Structure 1
Amino acid sequence: MIFRGPHPDVSAPNKNVAEFVLGDISAHKNKTAIIQSETKRKISYQELSESINQLAAGLQKNGFKKGDVLAIYSPNLPEYVVVFLAVLKLGGICTTVNPLYTAQELAKQLSDANAKIIVTVSAFLDKAKTATQTHAVQEIIVIDSETEYRNLKGLMQANHELSEPSISPKEDLCALPYSSGTTGLPKGVMLTHHNLIMNMRQTEGMTSHNAISEKDTVLGVLPFFHIYGMVVIMLYTLYRRGTIVCMSRFDMEDFLDAIQTHKVTKAPIVPPIVLGLAKHPAVEQFDLSSLELILSGAAPLGEGVAIEAANRVGCNIAQGYGMTEASPVTHLLPIDSDPNKIGSIGVPIPNTEVMIVDPETEQPLKTNQNGEIWIRGPQIMKGYLNRAEATNESITQEGWYRTGDIGYVDDEGFFYAVDRIKELIKYKGMQVAPAELEALLLTHESIADVAVIPVADEEAGELPKAVVVRKNELPVTSEEVMSFVADKVAPHKKIRLVEFVDKIPKSASGKILRRVLIQKEREK
């Protein structure tokens, strides 16, 4: 059974992403496009457009051409946007690198992507130099200071005539982000100009979601290297002529201060930050009344935490759903949805088909049945770079992308993501979803954060174990944790073991790194 959303399909122009995002800015040239939160530096749409053109001209003059790959290894800065769009304007490809990567991890991505240039900041220069000893690049360019390497400003050419190449939007790549690697080695995700443009048009066509408009100030705290920050915040906000408040790092009080200072209206964030809004004591110290919408994505958000945060902050919280391989958005929750839908990831966006499939038989399922979420639409990637086998495993011959996520659709067409297939715990042959138990445990007043992992057991196969971060002022015992869950779930879902820790390991996008905890458990 194939499910679609309630909105009509949309179309996309045959353009380069850079032209699509910043084509005609005449009506907004003096409007602020980006504010750097830490320095209060402001850049207008006119200044942004000029900087992009000048950098594109400088790169072209130095031999960068269509199809070449440039790596950005930097925290969120206005220059990140300039570099990204200048590269795309030339028909080049941006591979965006996690700024927390080690030199070894950076070298692997540079090599796999065959990057010609790396753009970084002075704080990361030593790691960049070490990485380029393994994979030589043509040039290292530094954004923020004068070093022995060329500075970004020094590369900009005001007088060089820019020659923009013709592109084939459906075939030519523009972005090469790497998947998180939480279920395997990181892989380069090949995204075309059409993929990204179509996903922005699909989001725009989701009128019930109250998408970003020119009236909005959008908080850019999620990293731009990640597909969520790259497309939903960086590109889509500029396409809609909003203003981005750019934060180079996350700190809860700085995050709250940025909302208050810049009167942020839309905040695309991840569940750990929603959890902070629900439970962090500093929230009461700041005026967050400007917020109209919090969009949570990248990982499952528990209904209890969502309700608690929404009530505390006083604005709507809506989940979205997507993945790097889908550019990223596939589902959004309509703003006027019934309050009991707050735990839903929403409905499919325009031009998107969804099936719930039995993971073992691959037969389509009906409503209210758990299965793997399969997605088909114009936002689905071209494939994994140099990994034809992995591409064929993830995309069927009919064009369905296998998400690896378990979910279901209710009778009204609202979807729910339950967990990852590979993260399911098998207790005496019955499936236990860690995310479901985590959402429940986060409603406990003495629990600040939690992850649930499998522990091998001779009799049961696997036992669910809760790895818990206590709230300092509210101690809780293992017995209390287990009892709290036992009263609310079926017997096979009970927590059987508890461990207390100081911190839950998470990726930059907010996903629990369950494999790290599982590996530690196995090493005991």
Structure 2
Amino acid sequence: MSGEGEWISTSEDEQSTYHQPSFGRKNGYDPETGIYHSVLQLSENHKMTSDCPDLDTAKFVLSQFPSPAQASSQIALIDTASNQNITYAQLNRSILSLATGLYHALGVRKGDVVFVLSPNSVMYPTICLAVLSIGAILSPSNPLNTESEIGKQVRLSGPKLAIAAPEEVHKLVPTGVPTLVTTRPKDDEKSVSVEDLIENCDPLELPKDRPMPSDTAAILYSSGTTGVSKGVVLTHANFVEIMKLLKYYVEITSSQDDVFLCFIPMFHVYGLAFFGLGLFCSGVTTVLMQKFDFEAMLEAIQTHKISHIPAVPPVILGLVKYNKGSHDISSLRSVTSGAAPLSKEVADAFQEKFPWVELKQGYGLTETTGAATFFVTNKEAKAHPSSVGLLFPGFSAKVVNHETGEALPPFKEGELWMKGPGIMKEYFGNEEATTATITKDGWLKTGDLCYFDNEGYLYIVDRIKELIKHNGYQVAPAELEAILLSHHEILDAAVVPLEDEEAGQIPLAYVVRAASSSLTQDQVIHFVASQVAPYKKVRRVNFINAIPRSAAGKILRKELVLQSNQPLLSKL
């Protein structure tokens, strides 16, 4: 798959791979409206087709599968645990068989919610696409959630059916929701499983009552790292348009014989949009890990000659810190970072250690169906190491002064507002939160502090809610965390606010030391202080065994703030 022909160029430079519109040719910024437009535009052959009323998520993804002649030999999925290979033909049959069973045997209909509680498995994409094939609404949840958290999500979404891994079923028992297990336990002859339906149901045609683009396709749950988790409603139009953007992004940055490694959880929008749906539109092979393990990841890269890893910052940091040479990872050509900010320091260290590997950041939220920005080329990524890239075609943005509402020009920091094909419909059953997040004219308030440069590249500074207010100054935890991670004796770090009578708040650092390190609080404080303005310096350090993170790699700051909710012992 060749990339250079995928984009229009109206510039005189014939080597240009993208079209820059007439306004703000350099950066897409329109000073009259304060809006940043994407400088990228899909070619006529790849225009988004929102005007097709019969194009729903499953129909689109299945239509992109390899031809029947290729599908029987083209590998779609490889399970690292069992070494099982699944071809596109087998995947297609499994999806249609499960959809048939759900529709005819279990009575699941268009608009019904199906709650999914399972770790990654080769069956996960089958479950997702089968549910969507019959017009039902997919609602995946984190299997690490407690029984209480599961209960809240079930009450919110009101599912007709749940599908769960056997070890997770007990969390659903109190909800009373009928539950289908993914695989039947050996000592249980009565349970009906997903495997049973796939094996015993002959695939039938999909129901003719297809979803409309504006119909709900999925209810995903926001991470809730700084507040209460909410149900994000994504439509079929959201998914279809994002699938198209991801398809063409993959096609201009890889080839069909590339192999992708998946350890990102598919209940998360990053994993669902990329691995549960998106990659099947490009005919590539995905090697699947049930859960992340660093050594197992290295083994998978070596065994399956992995070329691409969509990852999260803690994984990239782990690669920077690990002793290169224990595994052969020379097949690796590209690493994409998303779900949380990646610091320039870590990015630079990665490129120095693995100079042959492309490292690109992207940006997206659950509320944007997981995508919003990306890099076209590695040359651009290297030239803008702290950036998360350019706006995807069809996306636009504003940088808004949080206090005055003024739209800001390049290099001015403010809250990122976005419009685009991936913007969610609403927060399910929460009109107040929806109104607070989406303006009357359709702008999504992301809650992220950012700025654009004069070339249209976006830079995320931090979450606005996570900024530390110290003596009237704003301190970004992400900046201090990046400095901390550059210390050779620090494996991981997080910075949170600590209440202080005199200053309002002070930066408190949680630090994970290397095994042989004897690093002290004073040493850490002085290390940071030598690199920042006085008001930004870390004032207290707590050493900890591990930084709590979500499955997507985001720091769970609420947990750390709760730990730090104690009187300050000393003024520094």
Corresponding residue number in structure 1 for 2:317: 275
Normalised by the size of structure 2, how large is the TM-score? 0.88
Q: Deviation at 1:423?
A: 0.3
For residue 487 of structure 1, report the CA deviation from its aligned partner.
1.3
Structure 2: state its 5+ residue gaps.
Answer: 1-33, 568-572
SS class of match (1:241) = coil
Task: Give 2:231's aligned amino acid.
Answer: G
Aligned ranges for residues 2-41 of structure 1 at < 5 Å? 2-9=35-42, 10-12=47-49, 14=52, 15-23=55-63, 24-26=65-67, 27-29=69-71, 30-41=73-84
- Whole-angstrom CA distance in 1 between matches of 2:70 and 2:352: 35
Residue 194 of structure 1 aligns to a residue in which SS? helix
**Identical-pair percentage:** 39
Residue 238 of structure 1 is aligned with which of 274, 280, 299?
Answer: 280
Change (3 A) 1:350 1:384: same
Structure 2 CA distance for aligned equivalents of residues 184 and 495 of structure 1:
24
Aligned-partner residue type, residue 82 of structure 1: T
Structure 1 segment 502-521 matched on structure 2, within 5 A: 502-521=545-564
Q: Which runs of 5+ in 1 are unaligned?
A: none
Q: Separation in 1 of the partners of 2:133 and 2:396?
A: 31
More divergent stretch after superposition (343-352 vs 108-117): 108-117
CA contact (8 A) 1:322 1:329 kept: yes
Q: Which residue of 1 aligns with 2:177?
A: 137
- Render the CA deviation track for 1:27-70: whole Å, top value 9, x for unaligned: 53120000011111110000000000001111111211100111
- Residue-pair matches, total: 518
Is this contact kept in 2: 1:213–1:237, CA < 8 A?
Answer: no
How far, CA to CA, are the matches of 1:102 and 1:214 in structure 2? 40
Describe the superposition over 1:279-336 as per-residue Cα deviations: whole angstroms up to 9, x where unpaired: 023x421111111110011111111111212222330111100000000100112322
Does residue 265 of structure 1 match 2:307? Answer: yes
Matches within 5 A, 1:344-363: 344-363=387-406
| Separation in structure 2 between the aligned mates of residue 204 and residue 444 of structure 1, nearest angstrom | 38
| Paired residue secondary structure (1:356) | strand
Structure 1 position 168, deviation (Å): 4.2
How far 1:107 sits from its partner (Å)?
A: 1.7
Distance (whole Å) between structure 2 residues aligned to residue 212 and residue 354 of structure 1:
28
1:101 corresponds to which residue?
Answer: 145
Contact 1:12 1:201 in 2 (8 A): no
Structure-2 separation of matches of 1:167 and 1:12: 17
Q: Distance in 1 between matches of 2:392 and 2:77?
A: 27
Tell me the amino acid that sits aligned with residue 201 of structure 2: A
Describe how 1:44-443 pairs up with structure 2 within 5 A.
44-61=87-104, 62-129=106-173, 133=174, 135-143=175-183, 145-146=185-186, 147=188, 148-156=190-198, 157-159=200-202, 161-206=204-249, 210-211=252-253, 213-281=255-323, 283-314=324-355, 315-334=357-376, 335-337=378-380, 339-443=382-486
Amino acid at match of 1:8: Q
Render the CA deviation track for 1:174-197: whole Å, top value 9, x for unaligned.
111100011221111111111011
Q: Distance in 2 between matches of 1:391 and 1:384?
A: 5
Q: Which moved more, 1:71-80 or 1:468-477?
A: 468-477
Aligned-partner Cα distance in 1 for 2:494–2:363: 20
Q: Judge conservation of contact 1:4–1:354 (CA < 8 Å) in 2.
A: yes
Q: Matches of 1:64 and 1:37 in 2, distance apart?
A: 32
Indicate conservation of the 8 Å contact 1:116/1:139, yes or no: no
1:462 maps to 2:505: yes
| CA contact 1:468–1:499 (8 Å) conserved in 2 | yes
Amino acid at match of 2:270: Y
Distance, in Å, in 2 between the alignment partners of 1:359 and 1:262 is 48
Distance 2:390 2:235 in 1: 24
Deviations 1:413-437 (A, max 9, x none): 1111010011000111000000011
SS of the equivalent of 1:95 reads: strand
More divergent stretch after superposition (458-467 vs 148-157): 148-157
CA-to-aligned-CA distance 1:143-172 (integer Å, 9 cap, x gap): 353534212122234336334233343211
The amino acid of 1:364's aligned partner reads A
**Which deviates further from its counterpart, 105-114 or 149-158?**
149-158
Aligned 8 A contact 1:351 1:377 in 2: yes
Q: Name the TM-score, length of structure 1 as normaliser.
A: 0.95
DSSP 3-state at the match of 1:234: helix
Distance 2:70 2:410 in 1: 46
Q: What amino acid does structure 2 have at the position aligned with 1:3? A: Y
State the Cα RMSD in Å: 1.7
SS in 1 for 2:221: coil
2:444 counterpart letter in structure 1: Y
Q: Which sits farther off after the overlay, 82-91 or 147-156?
A: 147-156
